[in-house]
Structure 1
Amino acid sequence: MRNFEITKREVLASISIIAVMILVGILISAKITERQMDRNEVYNKAVKIDSQETFSYGMRTNVGNAFVYGTLEALDPVSYPEIDGSYMYVEKIKKLYTMHTRTVAHMDANGNTTYTIETYWSWDYAGEESKAASTVSFCEATFPISKFELPGTRYIDTIYESGHVRYEYYGIGITHTGTIFTTLSDNTISDSSPFYEDLTIDEAVNRLEKGVGTTVFWIFWIIGTGVIVFKFYERENEWLE
C-alpha cells in the first residue's frame, strides 16, 4: 500500500471524478424521476372504488386501473393440527439445533498467535412447507388466491419435536381490510394485485406516489462515488506526475 500522502494533482483529478459522477447521477436520477411521474399519472387516473356495486360494475365494464377498498377474506382457511386457529396462509419451518466449529485466534503478550478450535450451536434452517386457501372473497366477489399479493406473515408459535428439532409457524389471518391496486376487466381483476393492508384508498395512493427511488439512488450513488475516490487515492498515480 502506498504512503498515504495525497498530492495536489490527485485532488484536482478526484474533483473531476466527482464532477463526472454527479453529472451521470443527475442524468440517471432524472430518468428515475420521469418513471415515477409516469407511474403517478397512472395512479391519479385510476378509478377509486369503495363499494361492492361499483366494484362489480367496474369489472363488467372494463374500467381499467382502479384502487379498490374492501375486505379480503379466506373462504377455505387452512391450518396444521398441532397449532391453534385457521389462516389464509400458514407456513411451517423446520429448524435443527446443529453443532458448528470455528477457528479462534489468540494473541499473547509477546505478539505470538495461537489458534484453537471452538464449537458452538445454532438453530439452522432445514426446510419448510406451507398451506394456502384456494379461494378468497374481496368486496363480496370470489377470486382465486393468486389474484392477490397477500399481506406479510406473522409469527404464530414454535413447537419442539425434540431438543434438536423444532418447527416455527407463521401465518396470515383469515380476514384483512385494505386497498388493492388492480386492473378491472373481463369480470375479474389482474393477477397478483398488491394489497395494502389497513390503508384507505387515499393512504395507498399517497404511499405509491411518494416513491423513494430517487432518494435511495442518491444515497448509494454518493457512497459509490466516495468509494471510487478513496480507491483512486489508494493507487500509485505516477501518471499524474
Structure 2
Amino acid sequence: MKWIISLVTFIVASSIGFILSNNFISNANQQASYYQTMQVANDTDRMNYLMSTSVGRTGINKAKIHAVDSVKLDELNENYQYIERTREEYTMHTETYTTTDSKGNSTTHTRTYWSWDYAGSESKQAKYVTVNGFKIKSIAIDLPQYDLDLKDNMFNKNIEYGIIFKHKGSVRGNYYYAGADTRYKYSFTPVDSKLTLFAVLGKNKISPLQGENKINTTKQTVKQVKEDYNESAKSAHLIYVVSFVLSLLLSIGAWFACNEINKQY
C-alpha cells in the first residue's frame, strides 16, 4: 500500500510541477523573444527613420534625454528635470510593553525613543523632455532619481528667504538641518541623462511598450538587456530538474510516513 501511495504522490506532484514549470518557462521564452525581435536604434537618424516607418517595438541605445523646461528650488544652485524636497521631524515616541516574572506577575513598562519621521514633501518636474531631440511629456517616461549630495557645492548655505527656509541652517551629509528637530533631504533627476529606452515607435510618436504605463529606461545597452533575457530563458529550464527532485522527495516522504503509520499499528 505504501508503494502505491508513494507512486501516486510522485505522479500528482510531478504533474503539478510540470504544468507550473511549463508555464514559467513559456513566459520566460516569450519575454526573451519579445525583446530579441525588437528593432534597435543606435543614433538619432536611425530612431527618426524607425519612427517614420512606424516600426513598433524598439530599443533606443543610449538616448540623449534633455529637460526642456527644467525646474529648481530657491535654496539649490542647480536646475533639474525633477527635484523633490522631503521634510523630516525629530519626534518623540512613547510605547508600553509588558514583562512577566517567574511567578507569573506582569509589569507594564513605558519606553520613549526618538526618530526622524516623514513630515511631508513637495516636488517639481519639467513638463517636457526630448529624446534624441524628439519632444515628449516627461510623465510618459520613467527616469531614475538619485539622492542629492548637498556637500558638492550644489547648495546655497547662506539662504535666509522663503516660506520654509527663514533661517540659516547647516549641511550634514545629504541633509539640510533647519534646526535641531527639522531636516530636509532631496532626490533629483538631472537635466541631461543618457539612457537606453524601450518603447513603441510610431509616426511622430514614442509610446510605452504594451502593458507598461511608462517608457522604460535602463543604463544597460539593448544588447545587454537582450542577453539578460536570453540567459533567464535558458536558466528557466532548470526548473524542470527542481520540480522532479521535489516530486521525488515528496514521494519518499510519503513512503516513510506510511511506514511509520504501519509501525504504530
Partner of 2:222: 201
Alignment of 1:130-145 (within 5 A): 130-145=123-138
Contact kept in structure 1, 2:145 and 2:187, CA below 8 Å = no
Partner of 1:161: 178
Q: For the Cα contact (< 8 Å) 2:84–2:187, is it kept in 1?
A: yes
Deviation sequence 1:145-164 (CA, Å, 0-9, x none): 12311123334442223322
Shift of 1:209: 3.9
Match for residue 54 of structure 1? 46
1:38 to 10, 23, 30: 30
* AA aligned opposite 2:179: S
2:161 is matched with which residue?
A: none
Contact preservation (8 Å) 1:135, 1:143: yes
Question: Cα distance, 1:42 vs. partner?
Answer: 1.8
| Equivalence for 2:157 | none
When residues 21 and 174 of structure 1 are mapped into structure 2, their CA distance, relative to the original with a 3 A threshold, is farther
1:1-241 to structure 2, matched below 5 A, reads 20=12, 23-69=15-61, 70-106=63-99, 113-156=106-149, 157-191=174-208, 192-197=214-219, 199-211=220-232
Q: Distance in 1 between matches of 2:111 and 2:25?
A: 52
User: Cα deviation per residue 1:59-86 (whole Å; 9 max; x = unaligned)?
Assistant: 1110111111122122222221112322
Amino acid at match of 2:195: G
User: Which consecutive unaligned segments of at least 5 residues does structure 1 have?
Assistant: 1-8
**1:72–1:139: 8 Å Cα contact kept in structure 2?**
yes
TM-score, length of structure 2 as denominator length: 0.67
- In structure 2, relative to structure 1, the CA distance for the partners of 1:21 and 1:99 (3 Å cut) is farther
* Percent of residue pairs identical: 25
- What value does the CA root-mean-square deviation take over the aligned residues? 3.5
Query: How many angstroms apart in 1 are the aligned matches of 2:60 and 2:77?
Result: 32
Instruction: Note closer, same or farther for the CA distance 1:94–1:62 as it changes in structure 2 (3 Å cut).
Output: same
Amino acid at match of 1:60: S
Decide which structure has greater strand share. 1
1:196 to partner: Cα distance: 0.7
1:173 Cα deviation after fit = 1.6
Change beyond 3 A, Cα 1:149–1:208:
farther
- Give the aligned length: 214
Contact in 2 for aligned 1:154/1:172 (Cα 8 Å): no
Structure 2 gap ranges (5+): 150-173, 209-213
Q: CA 1:73–1:104 in 2, change beyond 3 Å: closer, same or farther?
A: same
